[in-house]
Amino acid sequence: MKIILQDQNQFVVKNSISHWFTGFIFLVIGLSIIFKPSFLNINTGIPLWLGLFIVMVGIIPVLFNTRYLIIFNKDENKLKINQKNLVKQKNDTYELSDIKSIELWTISGQNGGSKNNGLQYKLACILENNQYVILNPDTQSSFKISIGLAAWNIIPEKKIGEKIAAFLNIPFVENRRPPTVNETLNVLYDGVRDAVGKHVNQKKLE
């Protein structure tokens, strides 16, 4: 994630295109193997199926890697999330006044009992109805710096989350676990129940 604009009225973040770039490199290599192996200075005896396989590996991220443009706009009281790839585009809109906090979720990918293996960090807007909007569903850009025996885990999402929370003047909470499936379903059930109750009450008044 990267901040591309921050002023008094707007806070704009976009995600990385590293997967798209990696896919493009694979695509070029695969096509070179198929049509012009001399371009890569490689043996022409490489089988055609290998080139086709590399093309398939590369074309998937090129087509489906989604770019997220996230705009917090105080003038419009809107959070706008634009999701776009070469296949489709989707736009979601939320009211800024409905966001009660920004949370950094720590998701552990523990394997074989090894602690802190494959940690992922997701940044989420928590709404007043306890539903949530994940701002980086497909990306997470933490990395580790080691000097001798000392090591630091750098989490860009944390800094961005703190700045978003300060921009909206709402709390920032870190090291939270993401909600379980049951908790998510309960929140959705409560939202549907409240909507149905309001609809029934409105019909009674009419």
**pLDDT per residue as tens digits for the range 173-193:** 986 666 666 656 665 666 666
Whole-model pTM: value is: 0.63
- Give one DSSP letter per residue of 67-80, joined into a string: EEEEEEETTTTEEE
67 φ/ψ sector (left φ>0, alpha ψ -120 to 50, else beta)? beta
Q: What is the average pLDDT value for the chain, to the nearest integer?
A: 76
- Rounded to whole angstroms, how far apart are CA atoms 150 and 141? 20
Tens-place pLDDT, residues 148-178: 544 455 678 889 999 999 999 999 998 666 6
DSSP three-state, residue 173: strand
